Structure 1
Amino acid sequence: MLHPVTHLRGLVLLILITLCISAVSYGQTGTVTGTITDDKKIPIPGATVRIEKTNRGVATDEQGHFSLQVSPGNHTLLISFVGFPWQRRDVTVVAGQTVTLDVVMKEERTTISELVVLGSRNKPRSQMETPVPVDVIDVRRIVSDAPQVSVNQILNYIAPSFSSGTQTVADGTDHIDPASLRGLGPDQVLVLVNGKRRYNTALVNVNGSFGRGAVGTDMNAIPTSAINRIEILRDGAAAQYGSDAIAGVINIILNSTTDRLNVNVTTGANVTSQADDNIDGQTVQTAANYGVRLGSKGGYVNFSGSYDYRNYTNRSGPWQGAIYRTYPGGLDKTDSFLVANNITRNDIRMRAGQSKLRSAQLFVNGLVPLENEAAFYFFGGIGYRNGDAAGVYRLPHDSRNVLDIYPIGFLPEIHSDIYDRSFAMGIRGQLGDWKADFSNTYGRNEFGFKVENSLNASLGKASPTRFTCGGPIFTQNTTNLDVSRRFEVLQGLDIAFGAEHRFEQYELVAGAENSYTDYGRARKIGVDANGNDILIPDPQGSVNTVFGPDGSPRAGGAQVFPGFRPENAIRATRSAISAYVDVEANFTDAFLLGGAARFENYNDFGSTLNGKLTARYKITNNTSLRASASTGFRAPSLHQRFYSSTSTLFVDGVPYEVGTFTNDSRPAQLLGIPQLKPEKSKSISAGFTSAFGKFNLTVDGYFTHIDDRIVYTDQFSGNNADTASAIDKEIYQLLSLANANRAAFFANAINSETRGVDLVLTYSTKLGAGVLRADLSGTYSYTQRVGDIKASEKLKGKENIYFSRASRIYLERSVPRDKVNLTLSYNIGKFNAFLRSVRFGSVEEATNDPAFYQTFSAKVVTDVAVGYWLTRGVKVNIGSNNVFDVYPDLVANPANTTNNQFRYTRRATQFGYNGRFLFARLELRL
């Protein structure tokens, strides 16, 4: 099998050849132009005009006008806009001529308008007609109006069952936001781009944050300027789309417009009383999109790019408690120390808030029509992100500090270099009466760690202050063949089948020697004539020789994030093959029944067979009932199988050097922790859709049971006391050799159940001379562990470590169980107004200490914005996220704030604690 890089080179070469051929092969085109209005003759900006059976289309401008270049011949155009029924229009185009097509969208609606391709491998349906719930997010409209500029935050504020938040002091997770769908984990939702599987990030979340132990997909690596819309399938879909789709599927559909340059420049900052000088978190995003026509048959290549800068925010307070102690005795000499150094307690602070980021991204999406209605398509992108996040302040008297280097202590920083590369290409067309699509998709994420403003305390004053710590790399290559056909039997029988091969590779690259080595270790080789130990310096030795002022050993490795050690380094691969069949039968115009089955075989986990049944029944033309039942499967990620490291983790405010060990390691064997096995799920859902008057309503309930759910355990420790068991002593010794005093593992520890309900209600009407649109959505999701903790006999009595209360809270209560969103928008002429309020439900503190138990109450966050078209192609927007400067509840127990640094909890994902964000946006359409 060819290496993925070899695949990529060949694909790029084929694209260049194809583009060159297309540039000289196709002749003159025709043009379809027109205006889209409602039945009151009010122009509809942002409506979609698309050529049927292709991804070729445009959006109307602020006057409702569109212009679409097409090849000569007969075409069917699909016109859609949220709040109106979609329409189909046939046109005949002659080369060099222009056809005018004006369309009136009637307000007497029977369906939500947007056509949906997700959830079915057959013809698109409206949202109201799908047998499973699908949200359609018009990203172009949202980006024009709303304060949010990244994909995760856009979805967090608009999609009912989607949750995501920025993390703080969580190592690499500070730079990649984990996300949840229907209350399940980041690795239980499958992300597609243009219907093709997107690769996961290389990072596994192992620090104290939501999604602990999981591996997600970094959707923020895709610039919003590249996105047309996002479809969210809120239903188990492993039988249709494969492993990871237990919670649902997110499909990101890229832009395909041509002959228009769109540029957005957004700038803003957090203007809030909680910030230093009342302002921080300065943000600038510049995004652009432009498409070029290829030939005369509807070909195109669309380019998108963005550059983002985000400054950090800080909501920590002045350090409370002792800052400087003298030894012996550990006397508190803080006051004299502050005076001698001409500083205050406010100079000894952490950075508790969002990290600092810089990123640049470039995406492309293209299609080249071929003969006989075939088409060659391609898309992909490259991206780079540099992150800067801080750890916990090292006090001057700490044994982890060296006074000769940092006289007042130091705040170590984790810097990340994140590289993303992706490319997909394929060819689709007709094979007789069948539609066929053959594609290959490649993706790679590289996460490099560096530590700055730090030191290796075991080197003393000879220590450097910058370290290269290595990091993970994940590569995925997926090859798909999909075939489908509609048979004109009953009221339509749709059959699809296909196959997939997926290759994955996980690498962990070791850091520089000084980033992980403890130079204060030695090995005893004997005793001299005076009875003194004879020691030889040895980083793997068991004897400490370098001590801090308090008598404790000096820590080895880079402070805040020790580098990955050579024994951590790994290169592991896996391959998986699958085959599926998907059938949907319209027995009558009212009754649809569907079924899907998928067989998958992993070379490391064996085989699985999953199925899904769906049904929809139209009670009337405006009301339908729908339901589904499915099974699912998620193989442990390569990250969860092979990741190992040592890092500083804080447990209820106390730092520990925690080693993460693989399940085939000696510590795992001593503790009886078994090899990982796949998660398996069962899901059912049922709901109804209804259109009445100017309202559209969907309500869906669901239940998901997951067996053998993989979690990241709490920290086990050994014991070197004379009375300790032989196993505890060996564990202690093994941990010591890894510069760790505690150990954690990935394990199939529990079963879980999730149940909930989602509601979406939309309303649109003419109000005065403009159009008012209202969207109300809400979700309630309840996840809980069920059954006993699946601990081995050797772990009897340690179940509360294997799966602790803190782990349970991360699973059940670290994201809101309920969220309600009300969005109002009003468009009149060149003016638009936007108002949105989101109620984020309560969350709990993930802790094992009863003194720190706390529930953080629900809060309402309100966004406002107003926009105005200065000219036909220039729009300005100003507004605010969290205009009323709402914050979560403060941490109640001062002992749980790490000396007043974490005034707001970092263990729960509610809506963050950055406060009010003011923004201004300039939008150009040329």
Structure 2
Amino acid sequence: MRKNYILILAQALLFQFLIISAAYGQNSILRGKVRAGGVGLHGATVTDIVSGMSTSTAEDGSYSLNISSASMVRLRASYIGYKALTKSIDLSEATLLDFDLSDESLDEVVVIGSRSVPRTNLETTAPVDVVDIKNLAKDVAQVSLNQLLNYVAPSFNAVNTSINDGTDHIDPASLRGLGPDQVLVLINGKRRHTSALVNVNNSFGRGSVGTDLNAIPTAAIKRVEILRDGAAAQYGSDAIAGVINIVLDDSVNELNVTMSAGGNASRFSQGGMDGEQTQVNLNFGVPIGENGGYINVTGSYDMREAVNRQREFLGTIFTDYNNPTLYPNPTGMDITEAELQRRGLDRTDFVSQVGSSEANGGSAFFNSEVPLGEESSFYAFGGLNFRSGKSGAFRRMPAQLHQNNDAVYPNGFLPFIESSVYDQSFAAGLKTKIDDWHIDFSNTYGQNSIQFENTNTINATMLEQSPRDFRSGGISFLQNTTNFDISKNFETVSQGLHLAFGLEHRYERYQITPGEESSYTDYGQGYFVTDETGVRRFIPDYINGPSTRFAPNGVPYFQGSQGFPGFRPENAVLENRNSFAAYMDTELSITKSWLLTGALRFENYSDFGSTLNWKLSTLYRMSDIYNFRAAASTGFRAPSLHQRYYNATTSREVDGEFLNSGAFQNNSRVAELLGIPSLRQELSQSYSAGFTANWGAWKATVDGYYIRIDDRVVYTGMFMGSTAPDATEQEREIAGLLAQANANAAQFFANAIDTDTKGIDVVLTYNTALGQGHLRADLAGTFVQTNIIGSPNTSEQLAGLEDTYFDLSNRILLESAVPRMKGNLSLNYSYKRFNVFLRNVYFGPVDEATNLVDYMQTFGARLVTDLSLGYQISEKLSWTIGANNLFDIYPDQIRADSPVRNNDIFLYARTGQQFGYFGRHIFTRLAFTLK
């Protein structure tokens, strides 16, 4: 598919050359530009093969060469990292000759990781993956960016979760096995805002805040560049694991419409097929003016049906309390089988929704640039995204008397958490050139907000008067970043020096808005008093009063809406902060074969103070085939506003036990009683080294790395108070504070651990003509291991509570809940109108995150096969059909005797995730192109 793109680009450049050359006529001075991927290459060499005369290109890639002869001339253009390109021209007919070296080079051109000229991924000082989204999206079943990258980039992991509240709607994604908040996301080189959601449930990335990549439609993306190296000194906080740069589409005079449909055709699909997906994309670009201006616009609509992989519930559904006519003196005896028969039901009628959530949404994105003269241009890009999701919580059984009301739901109920996710972004900037200094001034705004609604549920303390639906409140995060960047090339310093420096200001705001009163209140808390007339009255005290409403078994009714208790007024937050940064970035070509780079960045946060970080990297060209590269850097990540200020009570299931867990801020009274330390920055050290090789059609990169992170922020285990007779005053106070928050346990964000991460990445590509077609093969693999160093970092008050502060479940989520080994082999063969895409992805073993040592389980490796067949029906219309997980592979099931299985609610792991448990997914896609 890349070959098709290259041919189109070559034809466009050839057409431009013919038009311009016809206008100029014969001239003894030959001019043109040397480009790679449409970007001018500074310092490329253009040589007249006959006379031997040569010249170097200017900063914009332009050159001029005096030619004494007016006959046929042969010119050769070359640049380090590219295959040299030779062209012929008849000066009697034309004097303009452009070169695009990417037409002759199979290396990928990237801009991430360097503020100098674009380089190929074999010539960068740190490893960079380049994913051609525009072409790849035609052949694969995945329609969201997260899942597309999960299958194509071994170092990238994205997790689908189930029954994890808001995390069901925004997938945690990571790089090199580190946290979702340790990778920085850019769009067109500008910082992207993060999600408003902090992951506090049982999934990989617990305690972290990531970027919602699925808010960016794949149809708006040209390519994705993944820098697999620490880059905090270059780009700022969050870039400990690396950087993902999303380059938006800039094509013009082309209308692209794609329509995709598919579903899970698996042996465990309900009704023969489930999880149906539909996506419709439209992309169109138009030129602006006659000097290369453009605006490219994308619209996208997505629909996904829910998936459920629970088959039946094996636990207690009814007790004798549910049929007092037959059992006038109930004791809690299990009468499930008899009651099911009497009611004409079976156990399959009492399943939860364990799988992917239902989701619908749409996006609109644009990308534009308008020249303002020969040296200046204005650019802008951004977009809007809206998604509504509906995920299931745990089903409440009739036997759960204190969480149900028989008069409202005689057979229990399945609560749903419905989310409305709003995402908006807009960036604008001005680029100009003054006395050979390149200046870029920009502002980038982004906001993500999520509103929650709890439906098909009940507040049991309201008895029969309870509503069925509740507005549970929402969260919002806003970020505004202003950048001023200056750079210049100094050609006379050694073999070339590129100097860049700049300033950055960032404003962030985080907000929690409470839900409606009935979503969190216990209407049974209060006192009964008898007035002077002898009338007994109820005096409510919804915070400190005792419970007065009890289920038939004597247990107080559960307060708040079941499934997702609403944010309380005391949870409300509106906090902000500012950060200021100054950086310097240099690249020095010591010789034509040796490149040395360095970066230094100072950053000051209004709530954390200052930090200074550095990076050094080098590339040495050992021969025309082999390169050596290495890098060393320090980094940091400032705890997010979410981690500082998030506080709420959420329903959680832990190892088969259901409870409410409260997230408390570090400055809360509960944190003070337990000695939870204040949050501070994470600090990192990163080292990498590797080799690249270019054997023509074969290319390879091998890179090893080591990352040490101190004071990592985690979400702690659960602390509980006590009201037992022998409880301490501290335990009693904690229990009272938990009760006020409707919580059974307390959790916090804390700098609890130090870790090191070691790994190696290998990438091998092969491109060749095969028969009358073209074959591209990609083999890539990653091997990574994260370990916790020493014991958790505790305070004196926490002595003896280390296993609660950072429990075994947390350790597994961090070390081995996603594959430590991952690889893929992709084969893409095009022949005339046909295209075949075959991919095998290896997902290594993972562990189930549990605190039950006797039931710890490792889930074995799996190989997942994707296959698609494409046919070009006409010049404008193409059709693709295929399957993800062709052979219907599932992960290992949780062992039958494990409490983690929770009466067969979870057949597959919630926490140890490889590729999901949805089975074979088939799809078809129509693509229409009009030029």
The answer to whether the superposition gives a TM-score over 0.5 is yes
- How far, CA to CA, are the matches of 2:110 and 2:17 in structure 1? 22
Aligned to 1:136: 130
Work out whether residues 199 and 443 of structure 1, in 8 Å CA contact, stay in contact via their aligned partners in 2.
yes
Q: Deviations over 1:749-789 (max 9, x none)?
A: 00010010000000111111111111000000100110221
**Structure 1 position 842 matched with structure 2 position 836:** no
Aligned ranges for residues 867-882 of structure 1 at < 5 Å? 867-882=870-885
Aligned to 2:471: 468
Could you tell me which of 496, 504, 510 is aligned with 1:506? 510
Aligned ranges for residues 201-600 of structure 1 at < 5 Å? 201-327=195-321, 328-398=330-400, 399-488=402-491, 489-523=493-527, 536-600=539-603
Work out whether residues 220 and 298 of structure 2, in 8 Å CA contact, stay in contact via their aligned partners in 1.
yes
Work out whether residues 524 and 543 of structure 1, in 8 Å CA contact, stay in contact via their aligned partners in 2.
no
- How far, CA to CA, are the matches of 2:16 and 2:654 in structure 1? 60
Could you tell me which of 118, 140, 147 is aligned with 1:146? 140
- CA drift at 1:893: 3.5
- CA drift at 1:746: 0.3
Work out whether residues 281 and 298 of structure 2, in 8 Å CA contact, stay in contact via their aligned partners in 1.
yes
1:896–1:98 distance in 2 versus 1, CA, 3 Å = farther
Further displaced range: 780-789 or 183-192: 780-789
- How far, CA to CA, are the matches of 2:300 and 2:543 in structure 1? 47
TM-score (norm 2): 0.90
Q: Deviations over 1:386-427 (max 9, x none)?
A: 000001110012120111111111110000000001000000
Work out whether residues 78 and 88 of structure 1, in 8 Å CA contact, stay in contact via their aligned partners in 2.
no
1:673–1:69 distance in 2 versus 1, CA, 3 Å = farther
Work out whether residues 845 and 852 of structure 1, in 8 Å CA contact, stay in contact via their aligned partners in 2.
no
1:652–1:925 distance in 2 versus 1, CA, 3 Å = same
Aligned to 2:916: 912
**Structure 1 position 688 matched with structure 2 position 691:** yes
Aligned ranges for residues 47-86 of structure 1 at < 5 Å? 47=6, 76=33, 78-80=35-37, 85=82
Work out whether residues 775 and 828 of structure 2, in 8 Å CA contact, stay in contact via their aligned partners in 1.
yes
Aligned to 1:45: 4
Work out whether residues 79 and 86 of structure 1, in 8 Å CA contact, stay in contact via their aligned partners in 2.
no
1:213–1:787 distance in 2 versus 1, CA, 3 Å = same
Aligned to 2:895: 892
Work out whether residues 188 and 634 of structure 1, in 8 Å CA contact, stay in contact via their aligned partners in 2.
yes
Q: Deviations over 1:243-288 (max 9, x none)?
A: 0000000000000011100111010000001111221000000011
- CA drift at 1:325: 0.6
Larger radius of gyration: 2
- How far, CA to CA, are the matches of 1:714 and 1:133 in structure 2? 36
Work out whether residues 78 and 89 of structure 1, in 8 Å CA contact, stay in contact via their aligned partners in 2.
no
- CA drift at 1:100: 10
Work out whether residues 33 and 98 of structure 2, in 8 Å CA contact, stay in contact via their aligned partners in 1.
no
- How far, CA to CA, are the matches of 1:717 and 1:68 in structure 2? 74
- CA drift at 1:851: 2.8
Q: Deviations over 1:845-893 (max 9, x none)?
A: 0000123200000000000001010000100000000000000000014
Counterpart of 2:559 in 1: which secondary structure?
coil
Work out whether residues 76 and 91 of structure 1, in 8 Å CA contact, stay in contact via their aligned partners in 2.
no
Counterpart of 1:172 in 2: which secondary structure?
helix
RMSD, matched Cα: 2.5
Gaps of 5+ in 1: 1-41, 50-57
Counterpart of 1:588 in 2: which secondary structure?
coil
- Partner letter of residue 377 of structure 2? A
Aligned ranges for residues 788-799 of structure 1 at < 5 Å? 788-799=791-802
- How far, CA to CA, are the matches of 2:868 and 2:210 in structure 1? 32
- CA drift at 1:141: 1.1
- Partner letter of residue 540 of structure 2? P
Work out whether residues 35 and 99 of structure 2, in 8 Å CA contact, stay in contact via their aligned partners in 1.
no
Gaps of 5+ in 2: 25-30, 39-80, 322-329
- How far, CA to CA, are the matches of 2:395 and 2:213 in structure 1? 31
Work out whether residues 152 and 164 of structure 1, in 8 Å CA contact, stay in contact via their aligned partners in 2.
yes
Counterpart of 2:873 in 1: which secondary structure?
strand
Aligned to 1:755: 758
Aligned to 1:35: none
- CA drift at 1:653: 1.3
- CA drift at 1:65: 9.3
1:763–1:732 distance in 2 versus 1, CA, 3 Å = same
- How far, CA to CA, are the matches of 1:119 and 1:217 in structure 2? 20
- CA drift at 1:339: 2.5
**Structure 1 position 733 matched with structure 2 position 692:** no
Work out whether residues 32 and 97 of structure 2, in 8 Å CA contact, stay in contact via their aligned partners in 1.
no
- How far, CA to CA, are the matches of 1:70 and 1:198 in structure 2? 40
- Partner letter of residue 176 of structure 1? I
Q: Deviations over 1:59-112 (max 9, x none)?
A: 979xx998899999976363559xx947789999xxxx99998989887x6xx5
1:258–1:106 distance in 2 versus 1, CA, 3 Å = closer
- CA drift at 1:541: 2.4
- Partner letter of residue 263 of structure 1? V
- How far, CA to CA, are the matches of 1:208 and 1:325 in structure 2? 30
Aligned to 2:74: none
Q: Deviations over 1:822-855 (max 9, x none)?
A: 0001011111000000000000000001232000
Aligned to 1:113: 107
Work out whether residues 542 and 737 of structure 1, in 8 Å CA contact, stay in contact via their aligned partners in 2.
no
Aligned to 1:605: 608
Q: Deviations over 1:109-155 (max 9, x none)?
A: 6xx52211000011101111101000100001110111111111111
Q: Deviations over 1:539-593 (max 9, x none)?
A: 1124111111222111111100000000000100000000000011100011111
- How far, CA to CA, are the matches of 1:793 and 1:543 in structure 2? 34
- How far, CA to CA, are the matches of 2:878 and 2:742 in structure 1? 57
1:474–1:705 distance in 2 versus 1, CA, 3 Å = same
- How far, CA to CA, are the matches of 1:280 and 1:471 in structure 2? 30
Work out whether residues 874 and 923 of structure 1, in 8 Å CA contact, stay in contact via their aligned partners in 2.
yes
- CA drift at 1:618: 0.7
Matched pairs, number: 865
- Partner letter of residue 656 of structure 1? L
Q: Deviations over 1:19-74 (max 9, x none)?
A: xxxxxxxxxxxxxxxxxxxxxxx99302288xxxxxxxx6979xx99889999997
Could you tell me which of 741, 746, 750 is aligned with 2:749? 746
- Partner letter of residue 160 of structure 1? P
Work out whether residues 468 and 512 of structure 1, in 8 Å CA contact, stay in contact via their aligned partners in 2.
yes
1:320–1:255 distance in 2 versus 1, CA, 3 Å = same
Work out whether residues 47 and 79 of structure 1, in 8 Å CA contact, stay in contact via their aligned partners in 2.
no
- CA drift at 1:433: 1.1
Q: Percent identity?
A: 48
- CA drift at 1:533: 11
Could you tell me which of 694, 707, 712 is aligned with 1:709? 712
- Partner letter of residue 253 of structure 1? V
Work out whether residues 84 and 101 of structure 2, in 8 Å CA contact, stay in contact via their aligned partners in 1.
no
- How far, CA to CA, are the matches of 1:571 and 1:608 in structure 2? 26
1:229–1:704 distance in 2 versus 1, CA, 3 Å = same
- CA drift at 1:322: 1.6
Aligned ranges for residues 88-103 of structure 1 at < 5 Å? none
TM-score (norm 1): 0.90
Work out whether residues 85 and 99 of structure 2, in 8 Å CA contact, stay in contact via their aligned partners in 1.
no
Aligned to 2:927: 923
